[in-house]
């Protein structure tokens, strides 16, 4: 309980200092985390998988991932924020569930567009606040998702409900152009690859979790 409270305080501090890259006022709820990892939870436990989490923050979704990993799985995390990286390293050192998969897990501190891997991933799970970014950056990140995802693999990411539709109506000028371009980019990918969408009402704020399949 104390550890969770410390993580919430750290998350809120980073939200205030770096809203453009933190994006939320509170860490993801366990209900959202469960949805983000539901395809990983349904995998064949006898087959080793590669899992990539992008933008784990203080680790609420990571906590669900580590409990689903099997001994021969590979788990990589990409996080830009140095304070969140420190918290993640600490959890791999102190939390029993995390410590059990430490040898399989690697944290990388860099923008995901600059990240490369020797092999693609079976599961890409992203908590990046895409609606806060420039449209060109969102397009680059979306391409990176699919560059890192194995054909037939599953990409899961979340977005807060109705944010883009509302912003498209109430904003004007450059902001409206930006949010419309982001919406067009992500909707194109969803139209081609989406295999499911979950409505997560018990989250702050409520969110949609989008699940997309990498094209064969």
**Residue 128 pLDDT > 80:** yes
* CATH number for the domain formed by residue range(s) 28-213: 3.40.50.150
Give the pLDDT band of residue 24 (cuts 50, 70, 90).
low
The tokens for 144 are 């990176």
The tokens for 67 are 């409990």
From CA 22, how far away is CA 26, in angstroms rounded?
Answer: 10
Residue 209 φ/ψ region, left for φ over 0, alpha for ψ in the -120 to 50 degree band, beta for the rest? beta
The dihedral through the CA atoms of 5, 89, 80, 63 has a sign that is negative
Q: Are 117 and 58 in contact (CB under 8 A)?
A: no
Q: Which tens digit of pLDDT belongs to each residue from 41-95?
A: 999 999 999 999 999 999 999 999 999 999 999 999 999 999 999 999 999 999 9
- Stated pTM of the model: 0.88
Domain boundaries, the chain: 28-213
């Amino acid at each position: 309980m104390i550890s969770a409270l410390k993580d919430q305080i750290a998350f809120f501090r980073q939200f205030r200092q770096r809203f453009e890259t933190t994006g939320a006022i509170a860490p993801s709820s366990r209900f959202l985390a469960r949805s983000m990892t539901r395809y990983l939870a349904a995998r064949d436990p006898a087959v080793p998988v590669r899992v990539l989490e992008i933008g784990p923050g203080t680790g609420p979704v990571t906590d669900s991932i580590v409990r689903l990993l099997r001994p021969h799985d590979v788990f990589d995390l990409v996080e830009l924020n140095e304070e969140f990286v420190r918290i993640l390293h600490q959890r791999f050192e102190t939390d029993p569930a995390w410590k059990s998969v430490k040898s399989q897990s690697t944290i990388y501190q860099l923008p995901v567009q600059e990240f490369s891997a020797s092999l693609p991933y079976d599961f890409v799970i992203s908590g990046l606040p895409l609606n806060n970014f420039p449209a060109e950056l969102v397009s680059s990140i979306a391409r990176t998702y699919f560059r890192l995802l194995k054909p037939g693999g599953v990409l899961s990411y979340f977005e807060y409900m109705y944010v883009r539709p509302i912003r498209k109506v109430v904003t004007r000028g450059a902001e409206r152009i930006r949010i419309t371009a982001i919406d067009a980019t992500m909707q194109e990918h969803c139209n081609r690859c989406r295999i499911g969408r979950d409505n997560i009402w018990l989250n702050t704020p409520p969110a949609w979790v989008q699940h997309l399949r990498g094209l064969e």
